[in-house]
């Protein structure tokens, strides 16, 4: 059984859900989707990773079905964001997605890892569940919007950052830190690593083909 969620833990999960939903809203706006399309892309981004995690860990009901207010929160965010973007003439860009995407990455990597640890999964499997939680929603978001997923093609560390944040969660939990601090520090590690990778242009090795510069 998982320990009872604290207010901070729930707050972190909500923040991660809304951050990924916002990244989906921006991407849908870039593609000039209608209101239904915006809500679908935001929902896929917000719930995709956690849904796959729950399926793999055989957790029922799925987190957003058990707590339907998550869905209401995303729908309200979609309506508010669409109104504000129109009223303020906000121009969505790829760069404007990076902050909410990095925040969601870190928050979901930490909570996903901690949930798996609470179910007594081995450390490596728990970290991989955190990576899945953190990345799969963004992958689905990009696929639905007919893009190669950012996690696979921008060459900046992405899943690697979630992987590192997950191991911070494992280490701090093993050391006996307070669960709230475990999630907060793990999330901060993954988020800051992603933002640093974008700022300093850190890149992963890529395939080189004959004739490439």
Q: For 78-114, write each residue's pLDDT tens digit.
A: 999 888 887 776 666 666 677 888 888 999 999 999 9
Residue 206 lies in a domain: no
Boundaries of domain holding 121: 7-199
Return the pLDDT at 2. Answer: 46
Cα distances (Å, whole numbers) of residue 19 to 15, 58, 100, 107: 6, 25, 5, 9
Q: Identify the weakest region by mean pLDDT among 12-21, 48-57, 115-124.
A: 12-21
Q: For 15-44, write each residue's pLDDT tens digit.
A: 888 888 988 998 898 888 999 999 999 999
Residue 184 lies in a domain: yes
Residue 172 lies in a domain: yes
Give the number of domains in the chain.
1
Mean pLDDT of 106-129: 95
Residue 26 lies in a domain: yes
Q: Among 77, 167, 80, which Cα is nearest to 116's? A: 167
pLDDT higher than threshold 70 for residue 4:
no
CA distance 202 to 195: 10
């Amino acid at each position: 059984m998982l320990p009872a969620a604290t207010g901070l833990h729930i707050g972190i999960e909500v923040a991660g859900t809304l951050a990924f939903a916002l990244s989906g809203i921006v991407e849908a706006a870039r593609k000039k989707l209608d209101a239904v399309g915006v809500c679908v892309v935001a929902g896929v981004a917000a719930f995709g990773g956690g849904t796959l995690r729950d399926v793999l860990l055989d957790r029922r009901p799925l987190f957003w079905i058990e707590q339907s207010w998550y869905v209401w929160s995303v729908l309200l965010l979609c309506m508010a964001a669409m109104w504000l973007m129109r009223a303020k003439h906000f121009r969505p860009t790829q760069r404007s997605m990076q902050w909410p995407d990095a925040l969601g990455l870190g928050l979901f990597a930490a909570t996903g890892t901690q949930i798996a640890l609470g179910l007594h999964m081995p450390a490596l499997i728990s970290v991989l569940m955190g990576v899945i939680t953190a990345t799969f929603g963004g992958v689905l978001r990009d696929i639905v919007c007919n893009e190669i997923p950012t996690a696979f093609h921008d060459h900046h560390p992405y899943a690697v950052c979630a992987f590192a944040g997950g191991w911070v969660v494992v280490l701090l939990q093993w050391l006996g830190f307070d669960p709230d601090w475990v999630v907060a520090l793990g999330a901060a590690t993954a988020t800051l690593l992603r933002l640093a990778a974008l700022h300093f242009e850190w890149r992963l090795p890529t395939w080189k083909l004959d004739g490439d510069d």
